[in-house]
Amino acid sequence: MNIIRGKRAGFCMGVALALKKLDEAILKYSSKKIYTLGPIIHNPQVVDKYAKDGVVAIEDLSIIKPEDVVVVRAHGIPRGLYKKIEEKGAVIIDATCPKVKKAQRLIEKYSLDRILLLYGEKDHPEVKGLLSHAQNKGMVFSSIEELKKIDLDPFKSYFLASQTTQQRQEFMEIVKLLKNKFGKDFPILDTICDATRLRQQEAIEIAKKSDLVIVIGGYNSGNTRRLAQVVRTTGTECYHIQSADEIFPDMIRGKNTIGITAGASTPEFIIEQVERRLQSLE
């Protein structure tokens, strides 16, 4: 069996940076309670590891006390929440990915006189954060089909932005549709991050050479789910798994070449476990 492992599989810059900040906070504030607002990244194994170090992922601010530390996750948080944490008196460590921050800033600027059309997943924390930077004056859609159903007013001004981990191919189709409708000067904020674009491109290349592709990452990780979608568009069989113990002999029987890729929040050790599991089943 031939295994092709994606060079771009695993942690992106934003995730690595967020975890570095959390590690530093654990060392610096060893006597304090450390919270993250939502999981620091979308990977259950990583979140479990930090839970053992005493880091607690919370969804609301009510339990935060002035002596606590709050680490803002890689996806960012809605704008108003910073102020609320400050009011609690807690130490804030902002681990928002710089690329998400840049998208937030751009959206804030453009939404001064335009309405945001945001290509993304409505319930994703990054999307909620981005929308808050448009003073919540925006519409979120997760596909070109959904966008077509939105009744856009020809007398109003809009602009387009994207969740950082969305599919580039569909984004470009959306750009085309909006430029056809509103003219070539329609403002586009290309906020899809390079890490996502290059990883998706590599996954397609791997899929073309493979009989099966295994995509590794949290089921709650949007970028991992989309990576699996991108692979499936090539027609190559694909499994999205969270850990090596989800691989069974039947899944790989008769496959000569197996590709492996992983989402931006998947740690290296899990990718290695998957590779070893495949080798053990040869």
If the CB atoms of residues 6 and 14 are measured against ligand SF4, the closer one turns out to be 14
**Is 221 among the residues that bind ligand SF4 (CB under 6 A)?**
no
Judged by CB under 6 A, the residue of 5, 9, 10, 14 near ligand SF4 is: 14
The interaxial angle of helices 194-209 and 168-182, nearest 10 deg, is 120
Interaxial angle between packed helices 222-233 and 194-209, expressed in degrees from 0 to 180 and rounded to the nearest 10: 40
What CA–CA distance (Å, rounded) separates 96 from 278? 35
Please state the closest distance from residue 121 (CB atom) to ligand SF4, in A. Answer: 13
Alpha-carbon distance of 131 to 136, in angstroms, equals 5
Q: Is 264 in the site for ligand SF4 (CB under 6 A)?
A: yes
Using CB under 6 A as the binding rule, whether residue 200 contacts ligand SF4 is answered as no
Helix (H, G, I), strand (E, B) or coil at 98: helix
195 interacts with ligand SF4 by CB under 6 A: yes
Long-range contacts of 139-143 (CB under 8 A, 24+ apart): 139/115, 141/117, 143/170
- Per-residue contact flags (x/-) with ligand SF4 for residues 97 to 126, judged by CB under 6 A: x-xx--------------------------
- Segment interacting with ligand SF4, rule: CB under 6 A, options 92-100, 203-211, 230-238, 248-256: 92-100
Site mask for ligand SF4 (CB under 6 A), range 53-82, x = bound: ---------------------x--------
Among 9, 12, 19, 214, binds ligand SF4 (CB under 6 A): 12
In order, the DSSP letters of 50-84 are: HHHTTEEEESSGGG--TT-EEEEPTT---HHHHHH
* Residue 134 binds ligand SF4 (CB under 6 A): no
Among 59, 67, 126, 282, the active-site one is 126
Residue 170 is a catalytic residue: no
Residue 161, classed as helix, strand or coil, is strand
Please identify which residue in the block is written with the tokens 């592709």. Answer: 213
Q: Locate tokens 């009510």: which residue? A: 62
Among 162, 167, 196, 261, binds ligand SF4 (CB under 6 A): 196
Active site residues: 126
Q: Report the interface residues with ligand SF4, using CB under 6 A.
A: 12-15, 74, 97, 99-100, 164-165, 193, 195-196, 223, 264
